[in-house]
Amino acid sequence: MVNWWRPLPARSARLPADTLTTTPLPGLDSHWSRLVTTQSSDGEHIFHVLDTGPVLEARGIRPTGTILAVHGNPTWSYLWRGVLEASVEQAGPHAAWRVIAPDQLDMGFSDRLAHPEPPSPEASSYRRFGQRLDDLDALGEALNIDTDQPVVTLGHDWGGTISLAWAVRNSAVVDAVVTLNTAVDHPVQESVPPALRAAMAPGVLPSSTVLSDAFLRVTLGLAEGGLPQEVAAAYRAPYVSRYGRGGIGGFVADIPAAADHASRPVLDEYSAGLRRWNKPALLMWGPKDPVFRDRYLHDLMDRLPEADLHRFEGAGHLLAEDRDIAKVLFTWLGDTFHTTAADSAASAPAAEASTGLHQQLEQMAVSWRRDSPAVVQLAADGTDQLTWAQLKSQVDSLATGFYEQGMRSGDRVSLLVQPGNQLTAILYACLRLGAVAVVADAGLGLKGMTRAVRSAWPDWVIGEKPGLAVARALHWPGRRISVQALGPRTARLVRAEASVERLLRRGTSHALQEIPVPGPEAAAAILFTSGSTGPAKGVIYTHSRLGALVALLRRTFAVHPGSSLIAGFAPFALLGPAIGATSVTPDMTVTKPATLTARAVASAAAAGEATMFFGSPAALANVVATSEELTAEQTAALRRIRLVLSAGAPVPVELLDQVQQLFPEAELHTPYGMTEGLLQTDITRERIHTAKETQQHGVCVGQPVEGVEFAVAPLDELGRAAEDLSDPDNAPGVLSEIVVSAAHLKAGYDRLWLTDRESRRDRHRGLLWHRTGDIGHFDTSGRLWIQGRLHHVITTPAGPIGPGVVETAVDALTEVSRSAAVGVGPRGTQAVVVILEPAPGCSLSVGASPLAVPEVSRAVRNAVGDVVVAAVLVVDSLPTDIRHNSKIDRTALAAWAEAVLAGERAAAP
């Protein structure tokens, strides 16, 4: 038998420049590279180090801080080349970070150890966790790190574990910690992630890590979209033979998953010590990592509760390759160590004192209206309603029941319940406890919901049986409570430990009086955006900000206690009890607004004696389309409606005119807002007609409502928004990104540190602002005209235009149901392509071709005036988001149009 495990000799460290003749190392500057001799705990060793210190010194710049970056397995310091490059490029007299990125011993181009036997947990020749901490101590001394300036650790993979432990060991000199995907603990009773389990098997470990480069290649294959060939070759450069891969096997062998592993006591010591860390911390995470999964992230967050977190949706294990981590890192360092007085002084406009969300319900339950309906739900099998007293009783029962189950203030609760009476009671019980409601509706789709739930990482999941079954199948986190009472077998299958139905039977206990009412700045809800312009983001609202929204709705639309509203738009159904208004949920699939019919609205109006109707544009369109089905009695019920409000997307004025005929006594409003702030401007149907006479581009959404401030960030020729803000009065007619400040805006984005910072980084007029991502302009009368989204801007040779400039005119053509304008080609020289969805019964294309017939193309070009249209295409139906059924996916359409114009056969999106 051949002995593949003859002793492998130690080898001296070498510079990566030694390999340049055979293997280029793109992105690595040879001036950063050096060899450093150290005296570690077991003797002298030579480390290869990438270090920007000498480069900064040659430029006469003294570092304002030092970053010690530690790679994991099986990478090397090449992982940090983007951080090193950014540190040099951004270095200046006021901010210059020295980056030190060593190759760990037995890795990269540092010294190799002698390995006389196969890698295994018992092999004494492999570097142990504690020894690697000693190595960093020795390197710190040899490199003369300036501890008078901030010292920050940065790590990834097992380098993250080591760097965090080293920071705890040296907490007197380390000022902040930053880590990418890593873990500091693995419960011994849990299995190691499957991606690591195979490599750790004693019979597999040697062959997969040392004898072959299988482990290395699999790891490099985790990069999103795959690594460029030359980059992958650079990562493999130190490990081209088994003599260079001993450290890879040793690192795997040193994973302290078992309780009796030699490195386990050191890991336990420092992972416990991390709970005492009271300095700044930043976590950057790629959630698609098959090794360091979300459970490890949330263990870190439990140990570092004050840490900032930025999740890069779509990124995975090799986060530094998938995303620009340097931008997040250096922005965070700048904020952490160079915060100005102006930053801390900025604020949103002050909110007036408002009634707490649950307090209005309590007042209604003891008022003379206590026996009148609070919530009414219509369905095919009948009508269900609760009085104010009954709703308050259910909320109290659930609040005490949830508390006795273990739910506490600050716990996150994912609600997988259809909008209606049950969801309202559950939501207000959570609000009373101070628990944070996580709302990611089915409109996101299964994939989007999974991403949202894993991002929020709820402590609890309350759901109906189908939702709990999905949660179990997809391994969503959180303890489970079912809505319906389940039999023992079904409860075990979905892991439900209680049910709403049974908790309601138990009633209210005296424990409710001992549960403190949440404070105004406590988080109340995390509402996920529609996901129509990228991965859905969690928007955090506090009790005070939701209270400010309720007060604003009352002022703007005269919604007062005792009012009754039909909620064809889910957010308003949930706000009803906070306003003191009866909420009527019509018979519809709330996550599919286009399922709302005229008869359903009429039935809801009659059942709830409603005078207000809130619905999305898609819901209004279907109400109009089904209005011929109304009986005389139902038509009369609609005549009692005094206010119709539509939000979620722009509403064509032609549709509003049709809606007015159905609700002849109603005043029609189309406010502008977003998940981050549900109400910013308002306009009536009559004023839209007046505004149209000015013949301006886009959709007029009216003037700011009380308490809302606007600013603009003008666009340049490439469609980029300006960094500095301007007042709308000083930039009338200028195409800009719309920026807003108000007391009822979001408190922040959840676990998206940089996204949150970028959305409100401005300090114009001493206020905090939210960059909406919408583009448009203000006219001389102070009205806001929306032209689309910032990332849908078409950058033509004549300058940037918003899609709305074209679409508003084209949508008015009788043969067109809807249209989308997209840009094709390089930025700054893009051609305008218009894509049409035919009106019912109209055929607009040339046979089976996506090209529009000549007469339709001419009509489109005539309608848009001065805008040069390169092509007019036709699809059966424009792709839209699921939640609103109205937000067009222009990104997908642009890619399709580009393929069509290039002569490719492409299926319409």
What pLDDT sits at residue 349?
62
Structure tokens at 791: 């990332």
User: Which of 432, 180, 356, 396 is closest to 281 using CA atoms?
Assistant: 180
Instruction: Please indicate, yes or no, if residue 688 is contained in any of the structural domains.
Output: no
Q: Select from 337, 371, 401 the last residue of a domain.
A: 337
CA-to-CA separations, 422 to 394, 419, 551, in angstroms, rounded: 9, 8, 25
Q: Select from 490, 525, 546 the last residue of a domain.
A: 546
The pLDDT of residue 388 is above 60: yes
What pLDDT sits at residue 339?
42
The pLDDT of residue 624 is above 60: yes
Instruction: Please indicate, yes or no, if residue 685 is contained in any of the structural domains.
Output: no
- pLDDT (tens digit, 9 = 90+) per residue, 870-895? 999 999 998 875 444 457 889 889 99
Same domain, 142 and 276: yes
Instruction: Please indicate, yes or no, if residue 742 is contained in any of the structural domains.
Output: yes
Cα dihedral across residues 207, 209, 213, 217: positive or negative: positive
Same domain, 393 and 457: yes
Local confidence band at 536 (pLDDT 50, 70, 90 cut-offs): confident
CB count in 10 Å sphere of residue 310 = 22
Find the CATH number of the domain harbouring 718: 2.30.38.10
Same domain, 163 and 56: yes
Structure tokens at 424: 């309202």
- pLDDT (tens digit, 9 = 90+) per residue, 31-79? 999 999 999 888 899 999 999 999 999 999 999 999 999 999 999 999 9
What pLDDT sits at residue 351?
53
The pLDDT of residue 122 is above 70: no
Separation between Cα atoms, residue 394 and residue 388, nearest integer Å: 10
Separation between Cα atoms, residue 9 and residue 244, nearest integer Å: 10
Instruction: Please indicate, yes or no, if residue 607 is contained in any of the structural domains.
Output: no
Q: Which residues pair with 777 in a beta bridge?
A: 785
Instruction: Please indicate, yes or no, if residue 681 is contained in any of the structural domains.
Output: no
Instruction: Please indicate, yes or no, if residue 111 is contained in any of the structural domains.
Output: yes
What pLDDT sits at residue 348?
57
* Helix/strand/coil for 495: coil
Same domain, 812 and 701: no
The pLDDT of residue 650 is above 80: no
Same domain, 452 and 482: yes
Q: Are 8 and 28 contacting, i.e. CB atoms less than 8 angstroms apart?
A: no
CA-to-CA separations, 30 to 15, 291, 336, in angstroms, rounded: 9, 32, 31
Same domain, 31 and 138: yes
Structure tokens at 701: 């959404």
Give residues with Cβ within 8 angstroms of 492, minimum separation 6: none
Local confidence band at 125 (pLDDT 50, 70, 90 cut-offs): low
Quote the percentage of the chain above a pLDDT of 70: 92
What pLDDT sits at residue 3?
40
The pLDDT of residue 321 is above 80: yes
The pLDDT of residue 513 is above 70: yes
Q: Which helix (H) or strand (E) holds 804?
A: helix 803-811
Same domain, 395 and 487: yes
Separation between Cα atoms, residue 909 and residue 893, nearest integer Å: 7
Find the CATH number of the domain harbouring 104: 3.40.50.1820
- pLDDT (tens digit, 9 = 90+) per residue, 665-695? 999 999 999 999 989 999 999 999 999 889 8
- pLDDT (tens digit, 9 = 90+) per residue, 265-285? 999 999 999 999 999 999 999
- pLDDT (tens digit, 9 = 90+) per residue, 487-496? 999 999 999 9
Local confidence band at 4 (pLDDT 50, 70, 90 cut-offs): very low
Instruction: Please indicate, yes or no, if residue 355 is contained in any of the structural domains.
Output: no
Q: Are 101 and 77 contacting, i.e. CB atoms less than 8 angstroms apart?
A: yes
The pLDDT of residue 334 is above 60: yes
Separation between Cα atoms, residue 736 and residue 747, nearest integer Å: 24
Q: What is the mean pLDDT of the chain?
A: 89
The pLDDT of residue 344 is above 70: no
What pLDDT sits at residue 172?
95
- pLDDT (tens digit, 9 = 90+) per residue, 835-867? 999 999 898 888 888 999 999 999 999 999 889
Separation between Cα atoms, residue 494 and residue 477, nearest integer Å: 12
What pLDDT sits at residue 20?
65
H helix intervals, 457-564: 465-473, 488-494, 500-506, 543-557
Q: Are 154 and 166 contacting, i.e. CB atoms less than 8 angstroms apart?
A: no
Structural domain boundaries enclosing 99: 16-337
The pLDDT of residue 703 is above 60: yes
Nearest-10 crossing angle of helices 325-337, 81-89: 50
Same domain, 327 and 394: no
Q: Which helix (H) or strand (E) holds 584?
A: strand 582-585
Q: Are 890 and 830 contacting, i.e. CB atoms less than 8 angstroms apart?
A: no
Separation between Cα atoms, residue 294 and residue 302, nearest integer Å: 12
- pLDDT (tens digit, 9 = 90+) per residue, 225-265? 999 999 999 999 999 988 889 899 989 888 888 888 889 99
Separation between Cα atoms, residue 626 and residue 606, nearest integer Å: 18
Mean pLDDT of 463-469: 93
What pLDDT sits at residue 345?
44
Quote the percentage of the chain above a pLDDT of 90: 65
Find the CATH number of the domain harbouring 508: 3.40.50.12780
Q: Which residues pair with 401 in a beta bridge?
A: none
The pLDDT of residue 319 is above 90: yes
Nearest-10 crossing angle of helices 357-366, 570-579: 60
Find the CATH number of the domain harbouring 884: 3.30.300.30
Same domain, 210 and 61: yes
Same domain, 101 and 193: yes
Q: Which amino acid belongs to residue 522?
A: A
Mean pLDDT of 421-433: 94
Local confidence band at 625 (pLDDT 50, 70, 90 cut-offs): very high
Same domain, 787 and 802: no
Structure-model confidence comparison of residues 312 and 760, the more confident one: 312
Mean pLDDT of 627-654: 88
What pLDDT sits at residue 477?
93
The pLDDT of residue 568 is above 90: no
CA-to-CA separations, 106 to 48, 76, 374, in angstroms, rounded: 10, 10, 69
* Burial readout 627-662 (b: 16 or more C-beta within 10 A, e: otherwise): beebeeebeebbebbebbbbbbbbbbbebbebbbeb
CA-to-CA separations, 207 to 109, 125, 192, 217, in angstroms, rounded: 22, 18, 19, 13
> For 21, phi and psi rounded to 5 degrees?
-65, -25
Separation between Cα atoms, residue 358 and residue 580, nearest integer Å: 10
Instruction: State if pTM tops 0.75.
Output: yes
- pLDDT (tens digit, 9 = 90+) per residue, 447-460? 888 899 999 999 99
* Helix/strand/coil for 513: helix
Q: Are 551 and 351 contacting, i.e. CB atoms less than 8 angstroms apart?
A: yes
Local confidence band at 6 (pLDDT 50, 70, 90 cut-offs): very low
Q: How many folded domains does the chain comprise?
A: 4
The pLDDT of residue 115 is above 80: no
Same domain, 766 and 823: no
Local confidence band at 385 (pLDDT 50, 70, 90 cut-offs): very high
Mean pLDDT of 584-601: 83
Q: Select from 531, 546, 561 the last residue of a domain.
A: 546
The pLDDT of residue 1 is above 50: no
CA-to-CA separations, 551 to 503, 542, 707, 718, 894, in angstroms, rounded: 32, 14, 11, 40, 41
What pLDDT sits at residue 713?
96
Instruction: Please indicate, yes or no, if residue 619 is contained in any of the structural domains.
Output: no
User: Which of 226, 19, 228, 4 is closest to 115 using CA atoms?
Assistant: 4
